[in-house]
Amino acid sequence: MSAEKDDSVIVIRFSPFGADRLRENAEDTFADDLERHHIPARFGVSVLAVPLSEDESVAEAVERVCGSTHLGGKKIAVVTGRLLREAGFDLVHDPTQMEPLHHLVGARNFEAVPNVEALASLFVERRMNNPIWTRRLS
């Protein structure tokens, strides 16, 4: 597991991880916010995030999140909130009815498209197989 347990949250991004797709996601979030009259509208990349339980490993948290979402895909990227903050990103809870663990990753204050190249690099370096992928196929 590439993310290590810290005092942070575990953040999971389902593929795609490419900078162009992350930019598109951030711009779509902004457009969606405008449509929903969310003021201010935000440029954010969609992820799922969850705090670790006291006795939970990173692998257990990843499995818990992957098992609770309607999202699917063979590849995920696992980072921590601390790593994102250290790289200059903010993480904000943005729950939806379908995805209560939904969060947005963005630049400070979410006023501009984040550095998607740096974010893509973080995700690509920490990608792994979705631990429940084979169970979803059966």
Q: What is the mean pLDDT of the chain?
A: 90
- pLDDT at 19 > cutoff 90: yes
- DSSP type of residue 132: T
Average pLDDT over residues 2-17: 77
- 73 contacts 14 by C-beta, under 8 angstroms: yes
Candidate from 10-19, 52-61, 129-138 with smallest mean pLDDT? 129-138
Average pLDDT over residues 28-52: 95
- pLDDT at 3 > cutoff 60: no
Average pLDDT over residues 76-99: 94
* H or E stretch covering 82: helix 81-86
11: β partners? 49, 79
Q: Tell me the pLDDT band of 8, cut-offs 50, 70 and 90.
A: confident
| Domain spans in the chain, listed from the N-terminal domain onward | 9-137
Question: CA-CA distances (angstroms) from residue 18 to 4, 22, 68, 117, 136?
Answer: 23, 6, 24, 8, 24
pLDDT of residue 116: 97
pLDDT of residue 1: 41
pLDDT of residue 55: 86
pLDDT of residue 23: 98
CA distance 88 to 78: 17
